[in-house]
Structure 1
Amino acid sequence: MTAYRFRVKFDPDPTSLWRDIVVGENRTVEEFQTAINRAVGLDHGHLWFVGTDEDYWNSEVKYECTEAFGETPNLGGFGFDEETYDASETTIGEMVRQLELEERDRLCYLYDYGDEWRFYAICTEIVGDESSDREPEVRKRKGDPIDQYGASNPRET
């Protein structure tokens, strides 16, 4: 029985918009991503990936949405070999083991390859008394959701 608590922060303004999300290790990376989008006000109509640390496009390991998995161009021109996984088939537990993720380690999340909504998630706690099958759940929050297509879009200012 293990779950993980992540503090997901909006990269351009991490103190104004964040969510604490707990997710069981048997849930997929895609389920975690869906919970992030719902929690911060983004839709689900664009390509995305979860990567390592704060590397975003330069991540050596990416967990991609099914639509992008195997379809995106090899970005080897950045000087590294990229390893990709299908986020719908990779559990949180598998990702944690593959990345050797520990408390205080960081993931990056990029949503919409055009607008590049950037978030990062810090593993704030490994929760041993939560179900491994726990659906992603927002436990704490700060800030209003993003108005992705509206006038309050912080990326447009």
Structure 2
Amino acid sequence: MADATTHIVRAALRPKLYRDIEIPSDRSLYDLAEAIVRAYAFDLDHAFGFFPKLTGHIYDAKPRYELFADMGEGGDSLSVRKTTVVQAFPKVGTAMIFLFDYGDEWRFRVEVLALGEREPRKRYPRVVASVGKAPPQYPDPDEDFDEED
């Protein structure tokens, strides 16, 4: 729906570990990736992509949107900088895997929960709900992170 001015998306690592983010619909997928990474207190220091295939070998998904496309190395991937949120996520219920860091493979399930309207004097993107404790981006190999937290 192209006339909605904001998208409210859930970026979940697990069912009880997620962040709901409201972002203007006309912002880029790069901006959405940055908002997700920031919501989990990660650094945006790795390549990433959005894949519409939610399970299995997600790299076969089409269309897929990858930072590599913006760097001239994406093959048949589409740009994350030129693709808007509303183009990639056109309606409520649309979901993709946001893969951050191809080495560590942080996989966030991103789904559109609702469409909204921009409010004056609000800063976007913004976290509107936060459930669960975010894991460290670079866990100490000598410590176990309790995945149920």
Identify the TM-score tier after normalising by the shorter chain: 0.7 to 0.9
2:96 corresponds to which of 107, 111, 129: 107
- The answer to whether the 8 Å contact 2:49/2:98 transfers is yes
Unaligned runs of 5+ in 2: none
**Distance across 2 between alignment mates of 1:2 and 1:53:** 26
Aligned residue pairs, count: 138
Q: How far is the alpha carbon of 1:106 from its aligned partner?
A: 0.9
Q: How far is the alpha carbon of 1:105 from its aligned partner?
A: 2.1
Q: Which has the higher contact order (CA 8 A, sep 6+)?
A: 1
RMSD of aligned residue pairs (Cα, Å): 2.7
Misfit runs of 4+, over 3 Å: 66-70, 152-156
The AA in structure 2 aligned to 1:38 is R
Q: How far is the alpha carbon of 1:50 from its aligned partner?
A: 0.9
Unaligned runs of 5+ in 1: 75-82
- The answer to whether the 8 Å contact 1:46/1:112 transfers is yes
1:149 match: secondary structure: coil
- The TM-score with structure 2 as length reference comes to 0.79
CA deviations on 1:57-106 (whole Å, 9 max, x unpaired) are 2211111125764314x5xxxxxxxx42111122112223xxxx321221
Which residue of structure 1 aligns with residue 43 of structure 2?
43
1:123 corresponds to which of 112, 122, 131: 112
- The answer to whether the 8 Å contact 1:9/1:120 transfers is yes
2:111 match: secondary structure: strand
Q: Identity of paired residues, percent?
A: 26
- The TM-score with structure 1 as length reference comes to 0.75
Which residue of structure 1 aligns with residue 60 of structure 2?
58
CA deviations on 1:12-48 (whole Å, 9 max, x unpaired) are xx12310000111111110110010011132211111
* Counterparts in 2 of 1:65 and 1:116: CA distance versus 1, 3 Å: same
